[in-house]
Amino acid sequence: MNIVVFGAGSLGSLVGGALAREHDVTLVARDPHASAVRESGLRLTGQFDDRVRPEATTDGRSLDADLAVVTVKSFDTPVAAETLSTGSFDAVLSLQNGMGNEAILADRLDNPILAGTASYGAVLQEPGVVECTGLGAIVLGTREGGGSQIADRVGEAVDRAGLETTVAEDMPRRLWEKLAVNAGINAVTALTRTENGAVLDADANDLARAAARETARVARADDVRLSNRAALAAMENVAAATAANTSSMHQDVRADRRTEIGAINGYVVDRAAELGIEVPTNRALTALVRTWERGRGIRSE
């Protein structure tokens, strides 16, 4: 399969690197990462140990492939969609954090849009080198739920590259469950500069559980069947499985970068307001991370 990975930061480089073991892959990345990959290939370290030679470019316009995998930060999705609309793809798969990405892609693109979640731990160590800090899984399917041939075909191609893949027919529920995981782990670890396992410790655990529970309540009000128990179990299982990993929001804060707070806890707050539900923990976490962003002069929506 010809695959474009749009937004090859940490996770995108890991997924793209793994896919390149089996498929023809082009990474759309920033420099100096893109030029390092062009010059010396992409080195996968940690749980994966390999060197692959995908194409790499900084220009994502007018690309042509069977599949585009979108791994940009959620706040960059509108620009990614605009750029992807200049190319030609049979399908587009979002493997991003937060909610609302698929809808933005579907608004601007005519191709079938698949939704996905990825729970691999990934850190871009230096240009051209990505470390897999935790083995995880990819779940993908149609964004509305239900099956499709294209979801099966993409799932088979991703699985063939050695990434543990499930094709699911209940993506709306899976996306809300992943949102509960991220709502519980990301802001708490970013604000306290701790690794994911810290949310299993007493004080942080209350906060992370409250954020995940509120997320499940909003999901149910949004007609998605996600119990508190399932949301809490998912959050704590991921925290335990990735205990030594640095969450993506903690990585962003450490690097003084804009975070995905708007698409994670901020999304819960906005959807809760529309549905008339109180979500005080998500509101507090959102306010704290936005205050940090503003203090650093980083734009926050």
What residues act catalytically?
178
Q: Of these, 74, 111, 242, 259, which contacts ligand KPL (CB under 6 A)?
A: 242
Q: What is the 3-state secondary structure (H, E, C) of the chain?
A: CEEEEECCCHHHHHHHHHHCCCCEEEEECCCCHHHHHHHHCEEEEECCCEEECCEEECCCCCCEEEEEEECCCHHHHHHHHHHHCCCEEEEEEECCCCCCHHHHHHHHCCCCEEEEEECCEEEEEECCEEEEEECCCEEEEECCCCCCHHHHHHHHHHHHCCCCEEECCCHHHHHHHHHHHHHHHHHHHHHHCCCHHHHHCHHHHHHHHHHHHHHHHHHHHCCCCCCHHHHHHHHHHHHHHCCCCCCHHHHHHHCCCCCCHHHCHHHHHHHHHHHCCCCHHHHHHHHHHHHHHHHCCCCCC
CA–CA dist 260, 105 (Å, integer): 17
Q: Which stretch binds ligand KPL (CB under 6 A): 63-71, 75-83, 155-163, 241-249?
A: 241-249
Least gap, CB of 104 to ligand KPL (angstroms):
19
**Angle formed by the axes of helices 171-192 and 280-295, to 10°?**
50
Q: Least distance in Å: CB of 248 to ligand KPL?
A: 3
Q: Among 26, 97, 265, 281, which residue interacts with ligand KPL (rule: CB under 6 A)?
A: 97
Give 219 or 253: the residue with its C-beta nearer to ligand KPL. 253
Q: Are strands 64-70 and 42-46 parallel, antiparallel or unpaired?
A: unpaired
- Segment near ligand KPL (CB under 6 A), from 52-60, 137-145, 207-215, 238-246? 238-246
Site map 194..223 versus ligand KPL, x via CB under 6 A: --x---------------------------
Toward ligand KPL, which CB reaches closer, 221 or 241? 241
Q: How far apart are CA 92 and CA 66, in angstroms?
A: 9
With CB under 6 A, what is the number of residues at the site for ligand KPL? Answer: 13
In this structure, are strands 113-118 and 138-142 parallel, antiparallel, or unpaired? Answer: antiparallel
Is 121 a binder of ligand KPL (CB under 6 A)? yes
Site for ligand KPL in 33-92 (CB under 6 A): none
Cβ of residue 189: shortest distance to ligand KPL, in angstroms?
A: 8
Binding mask 244-263 for ligand KPL (x = CB under 6 A): -x-xx---------------
Q: Which of 94, 96, 111, 186 binds ligand KPL (CB under 6 A)?
A: 186
C-beta of 196 vs 265, nearer to ligand KPL: 196
What x/- string results for residues 262 through 281 when contact with ligand KPL is judged by CB under 6 A? --------------------
Does position 182 bind ligand KPL by CB under 6 A?
yes
What's the min distance (Å) between Cβ of 243 and ligand KPL?
A: 10
Q: Does 238 bind ligand KPL (CB under 6 A)?
A: yes
Rounded distance between C-alpha atoms, residue 63 and residue 47, angstroms: 31
119 binds ligand KPL (CB under 6 A): yes
Q: Which residues bind ligand KPL (CB under 6 A)?
A: 97, 119, 121, 181-182, 185-186, 196, 238, 242, 245, 247-248
